[in-house]
Amino acid sequence: MPSVALTLRLADEHDTETLASALALAWMQHPEPRLLITLDGDLGAGKTTFARAFLRALGVQGRIKSPSFSLLEEYKLDIPDLQLKGTLQTSAYHIDLYRFSDPHEWDDSGLRDVVGGAGVSMIEWPQRAQGLLPLADLSVHLEPDGEQRRCTVRAWTEQGQRLARALPEGLKSG
């Protein structure tokens, strides 16, 4: 399936949070058992800001820690599922591969089982496990552009395309 890409201008941290929240809310409209989002960009580009806002929009309360040292932070989710007329109980995983020095650390980490199973996974620094990760539904690339950020959202799957199409027009016109 060919990818679909959107390039957005994010004026500030608030715009990054708005983008992440919009994607999370779009997923909650039709939650799939598995969602994989990769987040890449230089240090300070807004990857963790995006992940925190996405998790907040999914209803995560309390402190949301950066997984830079722990590698993985897990959050339990209870998502209202209108199709099931009930609640989807799943987990969200925030993963940071920054400390990987060799892509094969991915295999040794045990994260393949986490990301390959049910749940929402967001992986920062996916290039540190290049060629070993499953296909992402969405990839989000953040880069500084003067005082702003340029963000490229690429949808690789049907689910990713559905989420990208659900973004408000104000975000798409960046």
User: pTM for this structure?
Assistant: 0.89
CB 164 within 8 A of CB 6: yes
Whether pLDDT at 10 is above 80: yes
Which CATH superfamily groups domain 4-172? P-loop containing nucleotide triphosphate hydrolases (3.40.50.300)
Q: How far apart are CA 64 and CA 74, in angstroms?
A: 10
Give the bridge partners for 76, in sequence order: 91
**pLDDT given at position 81:** 64
> pLDDT tens for residues 66-85?
877 778 999 998 776 656 56
**pLDDT given at position 82:** 57
**pLDDT given at position 144:** 87
Q: Angle at Cα 129 formed by Cα 67 and Cα 171, nearest 5°? A: 65
Q: How far apart are CA 156 and CA 35, in angstroms?
A: 11
> pLDDT tens for residues 134-158?
999 999 999 988 888 999 999 999 9
Domain boundaries, the chain: 4-172
Looking at residues 91-105, what average pLDDT do you find? 88
Looking at residues 99-104, what average pLDDT do you find? 83
Q: Exposed, middle or buried by CB within 10 Å (0-12, 13-18, 19+), for 101?
A: exposed
